[in-house]
Every structure is written in structure tokens, then in C-alpha cells.
Amino acid sequence: MEASNDIRGLQRKGLLLIDQEMHGRALVCFHRAIKLDPRNAFSYVCKASLLKIIRKYEEAVNCYDKAIKLDPKFAATYYNKGGALRKMKKYGEAIDCYDQTLSLDQNHAKAYYDKGRALEKLRMYEEAVECYNKTIFLNPNDAKAYKHKGYILSKMRRYEEAVDSYDQAISFDPNDANAHKDQGYIFYKMGKYKEAVDYYDRAINLDPNNTETLMDKGVVLIQMKRYEEAAGCYTQLIVLDPNRAKAYHNKGFALSKKGEYGEAISCYDKTVCLDPNYARAFYNKGMALFQIGEYEEAVGCFDKAISLDLNDAKVYVNKQRALSKLAKNEEAAELKRKGEGVVSLSHKN
């Protein structure tokens, strides 16, 4: 009896030390508990939980296996082992663990949810939706389950259903900026740009420093031809992440659409400084140079885009136009033939 009390005391002390983030001392407690009774399954579970926290997932799985061997009827052990396997990206094995959990406890909502997350990673979308539905049946207020269900439905292009699912997620957690952002993206995919911008604005109000939201909102504003606002989005993004090549590129594109070619060219220059292989930036810079009559430089940009394998017939067409402006008609004619070849190839693909 005294030994049992000592073991329970060590287990409790170790768990308290975990809460205090004193992981080394907690591990000593669990080692001592296991030494006192190597057949106490819960000591292995405690040790495994700590190993998972400190990201020693393989060792954690080994501890969970020892616990399962000693007590094969404890659902939580299988569930936690599944979590460690999911961290190791062993999604199939994780699903097996969640199935074991559910065979012992059919009402384990978290097991259905985490199984859904693992199925997501394996792109088994129908099965993932089924798991999220079961999670929601057991826990109707689970915002995360609705959110991930919405995400999967959007991947399956079932956009109306995805919108409904995100609406539910937002109703249960209205401060989840990512849910608003994702809802905005779905409306964008549906071609409902005004609604998309509304949701992106809500996301930005909740999380002003989320660069992905600013990026996506800018794309929608360009689609709506609201170029001034789009350029403003990318300016905000650049303040937050000054090394984001795509932000400079998209800002340059918005400025070009406004006719501000000099500023656009500066943005494209910054883009290729950050990413020298950004073929589309060279092409769009060439287009801006063409607009201000700098045909020679435009040709150089189009050549660079071609050298970076930008497989777009428009590059050849616009290089041909620039050569024609330079009275290089033979080169322009040859290029026209190449451009037609690219068109044929793209149609074939």
C-alpha cells in the first residue's frame, strides 16, 4: 500500500511539474514511479505525455505501447498515441489508433475530430467530413469541427455547404480571424467578390497583422478593379513583411492598372531583387516599360521571362510588338511563329 501511495504521489507531482514547465524534474518523477512498479500503465502514460510535449514523439509512442500492453482497455492511451503519430506524420497509423479509441469509447468526440484531421492529410475528404459530422453530433458547439468541415467541403468545391459550415463555426467562435478569412476565400472562389471583401475586412479587424488575409483581399480587389485599394493592401502587407516578393509584384500590377508605370516598375524591381526567378514579374515589368515607350528594355524583360520558362504566348506576342516598335520586323516575324507554337502547345496540354 505504501509503495502504491508513493507511485501515485510521484505521478501527481510529475503532472504538476509539467504544468509548471519543469520538464526535467517531471521526467525524474515518472522514471522513479516506473522503477517502483514497472507494471503501472499510468506511469508510462504520464511519461509519454511529457515526451509528446517536448516533441520526442517516437519515445512517446514507445511509452504508449508499453501502457497499452499493460492495460489494453484504456481508450485515452490509444487516443494520445494517435496524437503523437499524427505529429510524426504517420497518418495511417494515427487513424488506426483513433479507431481503437472509438471501439472502446464510441462517444469520444475528440477521436472523431482528430481522425478527421488525419484523413484530411491523406486527402480522404469524404471520410474526413463524415468524422467531423460525428464530432458535431456529439458536440454541437464545436467551432473547430465546423471550420475544418467547411475547409474540406471547399476543397471538394462544395462551396455552398462550405459557407454554411463556416457560418456555424463563426457563430460559435466569432473572434476566429482565420474562419472569417477562409469564408472570404470561399466567396472569392464563388465569384462573390463583395462578400469576400466583407469577410476579409472582418478578419483584418480581428487580426490586423495577418499577411495572408491582406494578400487575399488584394487579389479580390484587383478582380473588382479597385486598384487603389488593392495597392493599399499590399503596402500594408509590405510594412509587415518587407521580404515578401509576391506583395511587391501584386502592388506593381495594381499600380500598372492605375497607369502609374514608374512606381509599378520600382515594385517589379524589388520583386526580382527578392526573387530573381520570378518570371511573371519580369513579364509585367516589360509590359510597364512598353507602356512608357521603353521598348528595348521591355524586350530584355520579355527575354528574361522566356529564359525562366514562362510558358505564356502573351510574352511572345508582346515581345513581337516591342520589336515592331523598334522596326526589327524580321525578328518580330520569327517571334510570331514561336508565339504561335506556344499557343499550340498550351492548347494541346
* Residues 148-158 pLDDT 10s: 999 999 999 99
Instruction: Give the pLDDT band of residue 335 (cuts 50, 70, 90).
Output: low
**Would the CA dihedral through 254, 256, 262, 264 be positive or negative?**
positive
For the whole model, what pTM was predicted? 0.85
Please report whether residue 216 resides in a domain: yes
Is 70 exceeded by the pLDDT of residue 265?
A: yes
| Mean pLDDT computed over every residue of the chain | 93
Q: Helix or strand or coil: residue 87?
A: helix
Determine phi and psi for 124, rounding to 5 degrees: -95, 75
Residue among 128, 170, 121 nearest 149 (CA): 128
- How confident is the model at residue 70, as a pLDDT? 96
Torsion of CA 131, 134, 140, 143, to 10 degrees: 0
Please report whether residue 125 resides in a domain: no
- How confident is the model at residue 104, as a pLDDT? 97
Please report whether residue 5 resides in a domain: no
- How confident is the model at residue 117, as a pLDDT? 98
Please report whether residue 12 resides in a domain: no
Please report whether residue 245 resides in a domain: yes
Residue 302 makes CB contacts below 8 A (sequence gap 6+) with 282, 283, 286, 315, 316, 318, 319, 322
Q: What is the CATH number of the domain that holds 292?
A: 1.25.40.10
- How confident is the model at residue 312, as a pLDDT? 84
- How confident is the model at residue 6, as a pLDDT? 87
Please report whether residue 311 resides in a domain: yes
| Domain with 310 in it | 204-349
User: What single DSSP character describes residue 105?
Assistant: -
Residues 81-105 as b/e (b if ≥16 CB within 10 A, e otherwise) read bbbbbbeeebbebbbbbbebbbebe
- How confident is the model at residue 311, as a pLDDT? 81
- How confident is the model at residue 182, as a pLDDT? 98
Is 90 exceeded by the pLDDT of residue 205?
A: yes
Please report whether residue 257 resides in a domain: yes
Please report whether residue 283 resides in a domain: yes
Mean pLDDT value across residues 249-255: 98
**Would the CA dihedral through 225, 230, 232, 238 be positive or negative?**
negative
Q: Helix or strand or coil: residue 47?
A: helix
Number of domains into which the chain is organized: 1
